[in-house]
Amino acid sequence: MHAKEVSTMRVIIMCKAPVAGRVKTRLTTVFTPVEAALIHQSMAETVIRKASTLFSDCLIASDDTSHPFFEVFNLPLAEQGEGDLGDRMSRLMQQAFSDRAGSVLFLGTDSPHMPDSRLRRAVTLLESYDVVIGPVEDGGYDLIAMRSPYIELFSQVPWSSKHLLQETIGHAERLGLRLKLLDMSFDLDTPESLQRAAPEWIAPVFMPKKDPEN
Protein backbone atom coordinates (compact mmCIF):
# COMPACT_ATOMS: atom_id res chain seq x y z
CA MET A 1 0.00 0.00 0.00
CA HIS A 2 1.41 3.34 -1.03
CA ALA A 3 0.49 6.73 0.39
CA LYS A 4 -3.06 7.76 -0.53
CA GLU A 5 -3.72 4.41 -2.23
CA VAL A 6 -6.69 3.36 -0.11
CA SER A 7 -9.55 5.58 -1.27
CA THR A 8 -12.55 3.43 -0.32
CA MET A 9 -11.63 3.12 3.35
CA ARG A 10 -12.66 5.85 5.75
CA VAL A 11 -10.37 6.28 8.73
CA ILE A 12 -12.12 7.83 11.73
CA ILE A 13 -9.84 9.24 14.41
CA MET A 14 -11.53 9.57 17.79
CA CYS A 15 -9.80 12.57 19.33
CA LYS A 16 -10.47 14.75 22.36
CA ALA A 17 -9.49 18.40 22.32
CA PRO A 18 -6.24 18.95 24.30
CA VAL A 19 -7.79 20.61 27.35
CA ALA A 20 -5.83 20.51 30.61
CA GLY A 21 -7.54 18.45 33.28
CA ARG A 22 -9.72 16.58 30.76
CA VAL A 23 -7.17 14.47 28.89
CA LYS A 24 -4.47 11.98 29.91
CA THR A 25 -5.39 12.33 33.59
CA ARG A 26 -3.51 9.11 34.44
CA LEU A 27 -0.30 10.95 33.61
CA THR A 28 -0.83 13.54 36.33
CA THR A 29 0.90 11.37 38.90
CA VAL A 30 4.09 12.64 37.24
CA PHE A 31 3.05 15.54 35.00
CA THR A 32 0.98 18.65 35.60
CA PRO A 33 -2.44 18.78 33.88
CA VAL A 34 -1.01 21.27 31.38
CA GLU A 35 1.91 18.98 30.59
CA ALA A 36 -0.45 16.02 30.23
CA ALA A 37 -2.56 18.03 27.79
CA LEU A 38 0.56 18.88 25.77
CA ILE A 39 1.47 15.20 25.65
CA HIS A 40 -2.03 14.36 24.45
CA GLN A 41 -1.71 17.07 21.81
CA SER A 42 1.59 15.62 20.59
CA MET A 43 0.14 12.12 20.51
CA ALA A 44 -2.96 13.23 18.63
CA GLU A 45 -0.98 15.21 16.07
CA THR A 46 1.26 12.22 15.39
CA VAL A 47 -1.70 9.89 14.84
CA ILE A 48 -3.61 12.35 12.66
CA ARG A 49 -0.65 13.15 10.43
CA LYS A 50 0.25 9.48 10.07
CA ALA A 51 -3.29 8.52 9.08
CA SER A 52 -3.74 11.41 6.65
CA THR A 53 -0.47 10.47 4.94
CA LEU A 54 -1.57 6.88 4.40
CA PHE A 55 -5.27 7.31 3.65
CA SER A 56 -7.26 9.57 1.36
CA ASP A 57 -10.45 9.62 3.42
CA CYS A 58 -9.73 10.66 7.00
CA LEU A 59 -12.18 12.16 9.46
CA ILE A 60 -11.44 13.59 12.91
CA ALA A 61 -14.27 12.94 15.35
CA SER A 62 -13.90 15.33 18.27
CA ASP A 63 -15.65 16.25 21.49
CA ASP A 64 -15.13 19.93 20.58
CA THR A 65 -14.78 20.74 16.89
CA SER A 66 -14.40 24.46 17.69
CA HIS A 67 -11.05 23.94 19.44
CA PRO A 68 -8.24 25.65 17.47
CA PHE A 69 -6.03 22.55 17.69
CA PHE A 70 -7.94 20.95 14.82
CA GLU A 71 -7.62 23.88 12.40
CA VAL A 72 -4.10 23.03 11.25
CA PHE A 73 -4.92 19.62 9.78
CA ASN A 74 -7.26 20.65 6.97
CA LEU A 75 -9.32 17.50 7.49
CA PRO A 76 -13.07 17.00 7.88
CA LEU A 77 -14.31 17.34 11.45
CA ALA A 78 -17.34 15.73 13.05
CA GLU A 79 -18.82 16.03 16.51
CA GLN A 80 -18.78 12.76 18.40
CA GLY A 81 -22.11 13.64 19.95
CA GLU A 82 -23.86 12.15 22.95
CA GLY A 83 -23.82 8.68 24.48
CA ASP A 84 -21.08 6.27 25.41
CA LEU A 85 -18.16 5.54 23.11
CA GLY A 86 -20.07 2.73 21.43
CA ASP A 87 -23.02 5.00 20.62
CA ARG A 88 -20.70 7.61 19.14
CA MET A 89 -18.69 5.14 17.08
CA SER A 90 -21.87 3.48 15.79
CA ARG A 91 -23.22 6.77 14.47
CA LEU A 92 -19.93 7.66 12.82
CA MET A 93 -19.66 4.21 11.29
CA GLN A 94 -23.18 4.30 9.87
CA GLN A 95 -22.56 7.75 8.41
CA ALA A 96 -19.37 6.54 6.75
CA PHE A 97 -21.12 3.65 5.04
CA SER A 98 -24.00 5.97 4.08
CA ASP A 99 -21.32 8.10 2.40
CA ARG A 100 -20.40 5.03 0.35
CA ALA A 101 -17.19 4.17 2.16
CA GLY A 102 -16.09 0.65 1.27
CA SER A 103 -14.81 -0.03 4.78
CA VAL A 104 -14.16 1.81 8.03
CA LEU A 105 -11.16 1.88 10.35
CA PHE A 106 -11.30 3.50 13.79
CA LEU A 107 -8.21 4.88 15.50
CA GLY A 108 -7.74 6.49 18.89
CA THR A 109 -4.86 8.74 19.85
CA ASP A 110 -3.19 6.53 22.48
CA SER A 111 -0.83 4.76 20.04
CA PRO A 112 1.29 7.36 18.25
CA HIS A 113 4.11 4.79 18.20
CA MET A 114 2.05 2.48 15.98
CA PRO A 115 4.13 1.61 12.89
CA ASP A 116 2.71 2.19 9.43
CA SER A 117 3.06 -1.54 8.84
CA ARG A 118 0.35 -2.24 11.43
CA LEU A 119 -2.12 -0.09 9.51
CA ARG A 120 -1.06 -1.62 6.20
CA ARG A 121 -1.52 -5.10 7.67
CA ALA A 122 -5.04 -4.23 8.84
CA VAL A 123 -5.97 -3.02 5.36
CA THR A 124 -4.57 -6.14 3.69
CA LEU A 125 -6.30 -8.51 6.10
CA LEU A 126 -9.63 -6.77 5.62
CA GLU A 127 -9.67 -8.15 2.09
CA SER A 128 -10.11 -11.63 3.60
CA TYR A 129 -11.85 -10.94 6.93
CA ASP A 130 -14.95 -9.03 8.03
CA VAL A 131 -13.30 -7.42 11.05
CA VAL A 132 -9.67 -6.76 11.97
CA ILE A 133 -8.70 -5.70 15.50
CA GLY A 134 -5.38 -4.53 16.93
CA PRO A 135 -5.25 -5.84 20.52
CA VAL A 136 -3.36 -3.99 23.27
CA GLU A 137 -2.08 -5.25 26.59
CA ASP A 138 -4.66 -3.51 28.78
CA GLY A 139 -7.46 -5.60 27.27
CA GLY A 140 -8.65 -3.10 24.67
CA TYR A 141 -7.59 -2.36 21.10
CA ASP A 142 -5.74 0.37 19.21
CA LEU A 143 -7.66 -0.07 15.96
CA ILE A 144 -10.73 -1.81 14.63
CA ALA A 145 -11.57 -2.11 10.94
CA MET A 146 -14.67 -3.54 9.31
CA ARG A 147 -16.22 -4.10 5.90
CA SER A 148 -19.84 -3.47 6.92
CA PRO A 149 -21.65 -1.52 9.67
CA TYR A 150 -21.55 -4.12 12.43
CA ILE A 151 -23.20 -1.97 15.09
CA GLU A 152 -23.42 -4.88 17.49
CA LEU A 153 -19.64 -4.82 17.99
CA PHE A 154 -20.01 -1.55 19.89
CA SER A 155 -23.15 -2.43 21.82
CA GLN A 156 -23.09 -3.40 25.49
CA VAL A 157 -19.33 -3.73 25.78
CA PRO A 158 -17.32 -2.58 28.83
CA TRP A 159 -15.45 0.45 27.52
CA SER A 160 -12.24 1.36 29.40
CA SER A 161 -12.17 -2.15 30.82
CA LYS A 162 -9.71 -5.03 30.56
CA HIS A 163 -12.61 -7.09 29.20
CA LEU A 164 -13.31 -4.91 26.14
CA LEU A 165 -11.39 -7.01 23.63
CA GLN A 166 -12.84 -10.34 24.77
CA GLU A 167 -16.39 -8.99 24.81
CA THR A 168 -15.91 -7.59 21.29
CA ILE A 169 -14.52 -10.93 20.09
CA GLY A 170 -17.56 -12.63 21.62
CA HIS A 171 -19.92 -10.31 19.74
CA ALA A 172 -18.09 -11.04 16.48
CA GLU A 173 -18.31 -14.78 17.03
CA ARG A 174 -22.03 -14.62 17.80
CA LEU A 175 -22.54 -12.66 14.58
CA GLY A 176 -20.62 -15.28 12.62
CA LEU A 177 -18.05 -12.74 11.44
CA ARG A 178 -14.62 -13.63 10.14
CA LEU A 179 -12.33 -11.93 12.67
CA LYS A 180 -8.56 -11.49 12.61
CA LEU A 181 -6.39 -10.14 15.42
CA LEU A 182 -3.14 -8.31 14.78
CA ASP A 183 -0.09 -8.79 16.97
CA MET A 184 -0.35 -7.58 20.57
CA SER A 185 0.71 -3.95 21.18
CA PHE A 186 0.27 -1.37 23.95
CA ASP A 187 -1.28 2.05 24.51
CA LEU A 188 0.41 5.07 26.08
CA ASP A 189 -1.69 5.67 29.17
CA THR A 190 0.83 5.88 31.99
CA PRO A 191 4.25 7.49 32.58
CA GLU A 192 5.79 4.01 32.35
CA SER A 193 4.27 3.37 28.93
CA LEU A 194 5.54 6.74 27.71
CA GLN A 195 9.05 5.77 28.68
CA ARG A 196 8.57 2.44 26.94
CA ALA A 197 7.71 4.14 23.64
CA ALA A 198 10.17 7.06 23.82
CA PRO A 199 12.16 8.44 22.14
CA GLU A 200 10.31 7.37 19.00
CA TRP A 201 7.96 10.29 18.94
CA ILE A 202 7.75 12.31 22.15
CA ALA A 203 10.04 15.21 23.03
CA PRO A 204 12.43 14.38 25.91
CA VAL A 205 11.23 17.48 27.79
CA PHE A 206 8.00 15.62 28.57
CA MET A 207 9.68 12.58 30.05
CA PRO A 208 9.77 12.06 33.84
CA LYS A 209 13.07 13.02 35.43
CA LYS A 210 14.98 10.02 36.79
CA ASP A 211 15.85 9.73 40.43
CA PRO A 212 19.54 10.80 40.62
CA GLU A 213 20.18 7.96 43.09
CA ASN A 214 19.14 5.34 40.51
Global pTM reads: 0.90
4 pLDDT band (50/70/90 cuts)? very low
Q: Please give the domain boundaries of the chain with CATH numbers for all domains.
A: 8-194 (3.90.550.10)
d(CA 43, CA 141): 16
pLDDT, average across residues 65-76: 96
- Sorting pLDDT into bands at 50, 70 and 90, what band is 211? very low
Q: Tell me, what's the pLDDT at 196?
A: 85
| Interval 37-48: pLDDT, tens | 999 999 999 999
Q: How does pLDDT run across 137-146, given as a tens digit for each residue?
A: 999 999 999 9
Strands annotated E in the chain: 6-15, 55-62, 77-79, 103-107, 131-135, 141-146, 179-181
Q: Using pLDDT thresholds of 50, 70 and 90, give the confidence band for residue 6.
A: very low
d(CA 141, CA 75): 24
pLDDT at 207 over 90: no
pLDDT at 201 over 70: no
β-sheet with 141-146: strand ranges across: 77-79, 55-62, 6-15, 103-107, 141-146, 131-135, 179-181
pLDDT at residue 130 is higher than 70: yes
